[in-house]
Structure 1
């Protein structure tokens, strides 16, 4: 039986309202599929793990797996944190510098992930480094996150959701997150990921000094 899904703490600033029964059932199914996938990958490797095996381990049909996740890479990469990040960003003071708002948002999301799902975070990061298909898909899925966060920042600033400077700014911040995460994985998952992201954002803010 799948473990009870772990969701971001409800006490976090900007936390989402409680989900209805249908949403909770969907979340349980999604988490069960993801946990089964990670368990199988740990036992037999990424390439040897099939959708049929994942479905059997999660006690759902293969069609259910595909209804929730378009690809095997998506199972590894998808989490429940985009809505949390958007909510935290919306809750920040309007006069706060955008980089500081994004910094605090990322710090909260990463801290929650590390506390609630530390082993999943580590396994996901290892797979990002080891599996080219996952690394490529990560770049694609981050564009969805960038679009969501750009819309929130644009709304706060009274700008168009498609505002180019905002898109460039958010893409730069998420690019920093991507590179730090890969660096962390390439170097044995050593060091504090949150502190490393903070340092990367300091570089963005102050510029590169050689």
Structure 2
């Protein structure tokens, strides 16, 4: 089935959000997180302070935000509830991948690596991951005909998020290989993840 992608206005908003995030990362990597001000970020991103706060409440949020997530969750919400969870994820991933640029994927890898290296950012990032987990569990529960706090739903959701994170942070993968790698990992999940010894 076809899945609606973001409209022109939403795309413009996503582009502005990414531009602010990239400016923040540039400055954080050059000067450090603590030493960088919101004013420096807005100057480099060429946006007003008002625009900055329209997208991010704090400086921390500039790197807690995952650029791919809004596209993926919107596509997943568009899937009918009678579609099996893994099938819904596959369709949503393909639709979301078509909606974002290679730059967004590259920026997402850069963002995650920076968050892992900066202790001051781990708290806000944990909060963002928790929200993503809750949103994803709610959507997947609907496809499974269960409640979001069902232990099997939460375990499945954790496995899916683990697949997403390990794919983006895999140094051996180029951006154009992400979707194929995600698909292969989801196949492995569907098989029950039998990690057998290879001779």
Give the TM-score of the pair, scaled to structure 1.
Answer: 0.66
Q: CA deviation at 1:131?
A: 3.5
Q: Distance in 1 between matches of 2:80 and 2:54?
A: 38
8 Å Cα contact 1:38-1:120 kept in structure 2: no
How big is the alpha-carbon RMSD for the aligned residues of Structure 1 and Structure 2?
3.6
Q: CA deviation at 1:119?
A: 4.3
Higher mean alpha-carbon deviation, 31-40 vs 172-181, is at 31-40
Per the alignment, residue 50 of structure 1 pairs with 37
| 1:32 to 1:181, Cα distance in 2 relative to 1, 3 A | closer
Q: Deviations over 1:21-61 (max 9, x none)?
A: xx89976764553243244346x254453333213434433
| 1:200 to 1:65, Cα distance in 2 relative to 1, 3 A | same
Give the TM-score of the pair, scaled to structure 2.
Answer: 0.69
SS in 1 for 2:36: coil
Q: CA deviation at 1:209?
A: 2.1
Q: CA deviation at 1:75?
A: 0.5
Per the alignment, residue 152 of structure 2 pairs with 165
Note the 1:1-210 alignment, pairs <5 A.
13-15=3-5, 30-41=17-28, 44-47=30-33, 48-57=35-44, 58-61=46-49, 65=52, 68-79=55-66, 81-115=68-102, 117-128=104-115, 130-134=117-121, 137-182=124-169, 184=170, 187=171, 190=174, 192-206=177-191, 207=193, 208-210=195-197
Unmatched runs of 5 consecutive residues or more in structure 2: none
SS in 2 for 1:88: helix
